[in-house]
Amino acid sequence: MQIKTASAISTGLHVLVLAWATLSFNSKPFETTPAESLPVDIVSEKEFSQLTKGIKDAPKPIEKPKPVVEKKAEEPPKPVEEIKPKIDEKREVAPNKEMKAETPPPDPIADKIKPQDKPPEPAKPLAQAQPQPLPPKRPPMPKPPQKQPEFSPDKIAALLDKRDPTRKSVTGAELNSAPSLGTASGAAAQLSQSEIDALKARLYALWSPPAGAQDASNVQIMIRIRFKRDGTLATGPQVITSGSGPVFNAMRDSAVRAVLVGQPYTMLRPEHYDTWQEIDFVFDSSKMYSDIPVRRQ
Amino acid sequence: MNPADVAQSVLPLTSSDLSLLTLFLHAHWIVKLVMIGLMVCSVWVWAIAIDKTVLYTRSRKAMDRFETAFWSGQSLEELYRSLSSKPNHSMAALFVAAMREWKRSFEGSPQKSFAGLQMRIEKVMQVTIAREVERLERRLLVLATVGSAGPFVGLFGTVWGIMTSFQSIAASKNTSLAVVAPGIAEALFATAIGLVAAIPATIFYNKFAGEVNKQAQRLEGFADEFAAILSRQIDERG
């Protein structure tokens, strides 16, 4: 076989392959599925600063319903509601619950009468084993009904609950103490920005440096403040910054006064007491008139 | 969409059209040169491959036939007479060359010279083997060269194409993918052609080199056997 024949065959093959490639290699544009629009929640700065750190294996919120109290953080503070301890529903026995639900306004007379109606059922251990018809009602007993719940076979589970019947449910701030699916970078054990800002606002509002010292824009006074759990000072404010001169002394004294006057610092939440047990607070005269956070409180 | 519209939309090759032809036409002339050269190489490689495949197949079959005839007890004189006019394969050429030397020593000259005959026959056969192997190996080096240099040539085309496309990107001051992609695609096309040429070349070269080696071994073996036969003849007559 001559090489010419082979060349002709080869050329023919190449032409065929190229023709096929030219026809079939037309680039098709990638099909892009349009992205569906996602609902976006706008998280305010305050909410963001209060994000708690989550762990990966936390139960889903649906599987484990939250405790009874709704989070009240966003609403205007209602001190009465938040402070008042709530009775856990589980422990409540029927008469109390119904009584509470059915008496719309606190009626002093009705309150006095109704506990008398309730027969104080002695919660004997034997009673659980042998359920018997309710005994006839007895004369009123002075004990409050919470302490002496009436026995009913439907409430055995509640009666078996050995916990303190008047124990408090968690209230607002401790609501999310159980680990939840939070953000990866949330830092729960730190003072949130809002708390720091509130503290700063309060201290700066109380701080009145001498009028002439306002021009001394570079004076910074660091004061170590030790708190007790209730927000009052554990020890006297300790001035860390060292300095001299009448201006410095005047500003230092005014800062110490501000710290003393400002207590109790209720904006610091007791759950985070570890973090604000001791705070080095800097009074900065240059930020005095520019940086005061006015928005909160 | 009627055919007229299709023709209308196909005829002006826009830059978004990325068929192979467009890629080739839009390339820089150096890249075009590389592509054409590699295409020619590929054509030549396949031509050689077809040629050699046919050649080796025929050669092997002819050798088989010749060896059957040679060992069948047929007279070597008859075999020589039937083959001497046109030895059509390597082993026949070897046989004819040796026989010719033998006959020349016996028939040509009146006084028989046996002294160097053995050596002469071996020499002739070695020369013939070398010539035949050279014939079998011809153009195999092209395959080796294309196989080793093809990717580099293609890579050169790619580098050049990417260089120019980056220059045009810099000139247009736009780095969106739609601007970058056609240049890169046409540059990579060069490497693709280089690989298309080089991969078969390498495979065929290895295959054919093995085949040539095998046939050369076979020729050597036959030459040794034939030399032994002739040597016995020489000793019997001398």
**Res B11 pLDDT > 50:** no
User: What's the pLDDT tens digit per position in B43-64?
Assistant: 999 999 999 999 999 999 999 9
pLDDT band at residue A296 using 50, 70 and 90 as cut-offs = very low
User: What's the pLDDT tens digit per position in B61-113?
Assistant: 999 999 998 888 888 888 888 888 877 788 888 888 888 888 887 776 656 66
In terms of DSSP bridges, do strands A220-226 and A238-239 run parallel, antiparallel, or are they unpaired? antiparallel
**Res A169 pLDDT > 60:** no
Let me know whether A149 and A203 are in one domain.
no
User: What's the pLDDT tens digit per position in A220-248?
Assistant: 888 888 888 888 888 888 888 887 777 78
**Res A148 pLDDT > 80:** no
Query: Which residues of chain B lie closer than 8 angstroms to A1, CB-CB?
Result: 50-51, 54-55, 58
- Is the residue at A112 inside a domain? yes
- Is the residue at A100 inside a domain? yes
Higher pLDDT pick, A146 / B1: A146
- The verdict on a CB contact (< 8 Å) between A22 and B21 is yes
Name the domain count of chain A.
2
B158 CB neighbour count, 10 Å cutoff: 22
The predicted structure's pLDDT at residue A53: 62
Mutate which of A2, A3, A32 to test chain B, going by most B C-beta atoms within 10 A? A3
Shortest Cα distance from A13 to chain B (angstroms)? Answer: 8
pTM reported for the whole predicted model:
0.48
- Is the residue at A148 inside a domain? yes
Domain end position, chosen among A160, A183, A213 = A160
The predicted structure's pLDDT at residue B229: 87
The predicted structure's pLDDT at residue B108: 60
User: What's the pLDDT tens digit per position in A184-226?
Assistant: 444 455 566 677 788 888 888 888 777 666 555 677 888 888 8
- The verdict on a CB contact (< 8 Å) between B51 and A11 is no
**Res B12 pLDDT > 50:** no
CB A258 within 8 A of CB A206: yes
Query: Which residues of chain A lie closer than 8 angstroms to B139, CB-CB?
Result: 3
The predicted structure's pLDDT at residue B64: 92
Query: Which residues of chain A lie closer than 8 angstroms to B54, CB-CB?
Result: 1, 6
Between A121-125, A261-265, B44-48, B86-90, the lowest mean confidence (pLDDT) is in: A121-125
- Is the residue at A180 inside a domain? no
Mutate which of B14, B46, B136, B204 to test chain A, going by most A C-beta atoms within 10 A? B46
Domain with A112, as residue range(s), is 94-160
- Is the residue at A54 inside a domain? no
- Is the residue at A5 inside a domain? no
Helix orientation angle between B117-137 and B177-237, rounded to the nearest 10 degrees? 160
- Is the residue at A41 inside a domain? no
Higher pLDDT pick, A144 / B134: B134
Mean pLDDT of B175-203: 87
What is the pLDDT of chain B when averaged over all its residues? Answer: 84
**Res B147 pLDDT > 90:** yes
- Is the residue at A177 inside a domain? no
Mean pLDDT of B211-233: 91
The answer to whether ipTM exceeds 0.85 is: no
Higher pLDDT pick, A136 / B191: B191
3-state secondary structure labels for all residues of chain A: CCHHHHHHHHHHHHHHHHHHHHHHCCCCCCCCCCCCCCCCCCCCHHHHHCCCECCCCCCCCCCCCCCCCCCCCCCCCCHHHHHCCCECCCCCCHHHHHHHHHCCCCCHHHHHHHHHHCCCCCCCHHHHHCCCCCCCCCCCCCCCCCCCCCCCHHHHHHHHCCCCCCCECCCHHHCCCCCCCCECCCCCCCCCHHHHHHHHHHHHHHCCCCHHHHHCCCCEEEEEEEECCCCCECCCCEECCCCCCHHHHHHHHHHHHHHHHHCCCCCCCHHHHHHHCEEEEEEECCCCCCCCCCCCC
Let me know whether A213 and A274 are in one domain.
yes
Shortest Cα distance from A40 to chain B (angstroms)? Answer: 29
User: What's the pLDDT tens digit per position in A92-110?
Assistant: 454 544 444 444 555 555 5
CATH code of the domain covering residue A197? 3.30.1150.10
| Closest Cα in chain A to B182 | A27
Query: Which residues of chain A lie closer than 8 angstroms to B48, CB-CB?
Result: 3, 6
Domain end position, chosen among A142, A160, A178 = A160
Of A14, A25, A27, the CB nearest to B43: A14
A16–chain B Cβ distance below 8 A for any pair: no
A10–chain B Cβ distance below 8 A for any pair: yes
